Structure 1
């Protein structure tokens, strides 16, 4: 370790809370019991860069008294200039040291957040580290230090889920007054404008007291999920548990980024919003849960999605073809009146693809914060998708045999360890990628490992909503396409009781 006397002083002095050893090796720190004044004195006495050597001066002839006075004045100016130059060089060195300090602090903040996640995470395969992030603020006056990401995520989970039954009922009744608030509170996502505009279209097209959510029944399609809120199906039922809302119409392979809106009756084909951020822009994706975990993007709003479905996903007969053509025309006219674009999908999909760092098993791609210049935020897994699937297939072949499962885990564990190390070094996207792949593979034996990786990754990229969704889903992950609605077995309070 370098001697403290030759290291630049840490700009936070005695108030520095960094525990990172690399930071301690690079910057000197005063003893904890040293008064602040001593710390300031020590900082001011930090080694200064040596002044540049002066060129030797050539002998000059004797000067007159006036010349001597001029030389004295000149020497005074030169001395002042030399001091100024030294001070400027010193300021440059201090500025450079400060910038290095800030860069190290930034890395240390991320490492502290990682330590907090690993110490608080309940993942079955995650081991807690001794070092945890502290919540002490720095003494930097120019900016307010934000709480560590893990703390913000923990507060989000507590605020949204740690409520008693009475508080839940009161909140439920209040939220029903605003469908948008109900959806954001219960489903933890924000709906885009086209969602509400599409419901307005369905209401306008529903004649003779027909239900808007049944507008597409003649084509074997049903509006579900958050559309159930607009259809007032939650108005006269008791509150559900928080996790139930997050599982509402969630198919087996639906990752947290996906939310079902439309289903094809009696099949695993379903369509919905894909969000890379809980409150970000949406694209419409499609999956057949009875086949595999792969998703395809088909549109950038609900109007474009239904046009796609009517053209490519529905078998039209002489009986329903005229209705389909009329509906398509109505959609185009309504979208034109409301200035809803129908030809921007390709450009939006291309823009999103530029933000993705890898494909993952679901083929929709993973978009996480990533600096392409510094290559910080994501690193590739040590195995290709094909090799990873071979490793994971061993869990399926084990069929519950503990010896075979242990042997399979011996092959997988190095990848999990590598993903956790990547998080320690600020490449948080790697944990999200591996966790997503384990989830998409679908083997129940991998659920705990997928959860540990996704909880860690989503916390560090600040997506606590996705943590809540994946936890709720893995608590009761259902195959097939039946029993996915939490409203199926509910007794509505507005139905008269014949026993009274």
Structure 2
């Protein structure tokens, strides 16, 4: 009987196959990684650099954005700086630090945006909601990940991601940046295992396993922020407490402001896409609700109009007006400022502003 409690021939064959590839991987790992003491020194130096950076970076982001930085962003930066050459090559198949991480680099906070622009516009894509702050970029179709701030008065709720050039929806990507990377690596590992031959293992699977091993060195540091629940359970629970928006991620509105929204998002979608006259009515109703201290409808409708703007100035204007009005009622000044800056410069030709 095999280790999984079965003597089925196919399972035995699979177990032997896995043992073979693990043995091949260990040989490959020894060949490609730096010596143990050199790798340990690299990791140690990364921790020291990040430790010095933490307080200045937190203060700068609070001054520039009015937002709090989570601990896990520093865990990821320590992880990134501590990667050896082959590990660095492996991770760049999946993601690169971007957005807020550009301020972590030497001289990053001293750069001056082009005339008339603001740091808060760096790496802000056309469809990015104000709550979304880019931190990682991917390998295709404008894939990028961002910290999601339901409120500027607390740490980000999670990490979200989407493809800016194929924007079907924004998705929950993880509770911490390392969880985002780990989930991506696991999906790729499932696609690549088992390899057809040793060559394929060396080119694709083994670097992925190497990156997985590096991630596990740091994951326990994220435990406090990540919690014990699986990512699937977290996503399920998060969706239950959010008002639905057409971009897929929803919004969280705290009591006593979390009244129900009168129109389901699929109805709103059809009306916005066809520029139906009822959209104007809904905008007026949402603004009137804000006057009565109830911003939920304005926040939801503002997000839908923002996501479905499609380069239409009247949708962009209405989205900005509703979002900033909702943020005003909620006391979310930092998000209101980001929304206004983005509205003023929403059609920048590039997310690079320096």
1:187 aligns with 2:65: yes
1:74 aligned partner: none
State the match for 2:210 in structure 1. Answer: 326
1:231 aligns with 2:231: no
1:385 equivalenced with 2:259 (yes/no): no
Q: Is the 8 A contact 2:289 2:295 kept in 1?
A: yes
Q: Does 1:353 align with 2:227?
A: no
CA distance in 2, matches of 1:451, 1:414: 17
Does residue 310 of the first structure (1) align with residue 194 of the second (2)?
no
Question: How far apart, in 1, do the equivalents of 2:54 and 2:78 lie?
Answer: 18
Q: Distance in 1 between matches of 2:149 and 2:131?
A: 5
User: Offset of 1:283 from its aligned partner?
Assistant: 0.9
Matched, 1:287 2:159: no
| 1:197-346 alignment runs, 5 A limit | 197-206=75-84, 218-235=92-109, 237-238=111-112, 243-278=117-152, 279-292=154-167, 294-312=169-187, 318=201, 319-336=203-220, 339=223, 341=226, 343-344=228-229, 345-346=231-232
Query: What TM-score, normalized to structure 2?
Result: 0.72
Distance in 1 separating the partners of 2:89 and 2:129: 28
User: 2: distance between equivalents of 1:295 and 1:419?
Assistant: 24
- For the residue of structure 1 that corresponds to 2:215, the secondary structure is helix
- CA-based RMSD: 3.0
Per-residue CA distance 1:323-343 (angstroms, 9 max, x = gap): 110111121122236755574
Work out the CA distance in 1 between the residues paired with 2:71 and 2:351.
Answer: 26
Report the counterpart of residue 332 of structure 2 in structure 1: 463
Superimposed CA distance per residue, residues 173-220 of structure 1 (whole angstroms, 9 cap, x where no aligned partner):
xx998122222222332110010011111122245xx9x9x6655415
Distance 1:191 1:417, change over 3 A: same
**Cα distance change of structure 1 residues 386 and 218 upon mapping to structure 2, 3 Å threshold:** closer
- The runs of 5 or more residues in structure 2 that have no matched partner are 1-52, 193-199
Match of 1:437 among 304, 324, 335: 304
Higher helix content, 1 or 2: 2
Q: Indicate how the Cα distance of structure 1 residues 215 and 285 shifts in structure 2: closer, same or farther if over 3 A, else same.
A: farther
Q: Write the distance in 1 (CA, Å) between the matches of 2:109 and 2:155.
A: 28
1:72-221 matches, cutoff 5 A: 178-206=56-84, 218-221=92-95
Q: Distance in 2 between matches of 1:325 and 1:428?
A: 47
Contact 1:225–1:261 (Cα < 8 Å) also in 2: yes
Shift of residue 285, structure 1, vs aligned partner: 1.4
Helix, strand or coil at the partner of 1:430: helix
Say whether the 8 Å CA contact 2:90–2:207 is kept in structure 1. no
Q: Distance in 2 between matches of 1:337 and 1:433?
A: 35
Name stretches of at least 5 consecutive residues in structure 1 with no aligned partner: 1-174, 396-407, 488-500
State the distance in 1 between where 2:54 and 2:82 align: 22
Q: Does 1:453 align with 2:322?
A: yes
Distance 1:428 1:243, change over 3 A: farther
DSSP-derived class of the 2:301 partner = helix
Q: State the distance in 2 between where 1:386 and 1:235 align.
A: 42
1:486 matches 2:353:
yes
CA offset digits 1:392-425 (Å, max 9, x no partner)? 2234xxxxxxxxxxxx5x4322111111222233
Contact 1:186 1:242 in 2 (8 A): no
Structure 1 runs (4+) deviating above 6 angstroms are: none
In structure 2, distance between residues paired with 1:468 and 1:389? 26
> 1: distance between equivalents of 2:176 and 2:222?
13
Distance 1:418 1:347, change over 3 A: same
Aligned 8 A contact 2:137 2:145 in 1: yes
Query: Per the alignment, in what secondary structure is the counterpart of residue 118 of structure 2?
Result: helix
Give yes or no for contact 2:295–2:329 (8 Å, CA) kept in 1.
yes
- In the alignment, the residues of structure 1 paired with residue 116 and residue 332 of structure 2 have an alpha-carbon distance, to the nearest angstrom, of 18
The structure with more radius of gyration: 1
Number of residue pairs aligned between Structure 1 and Structure 2: 288
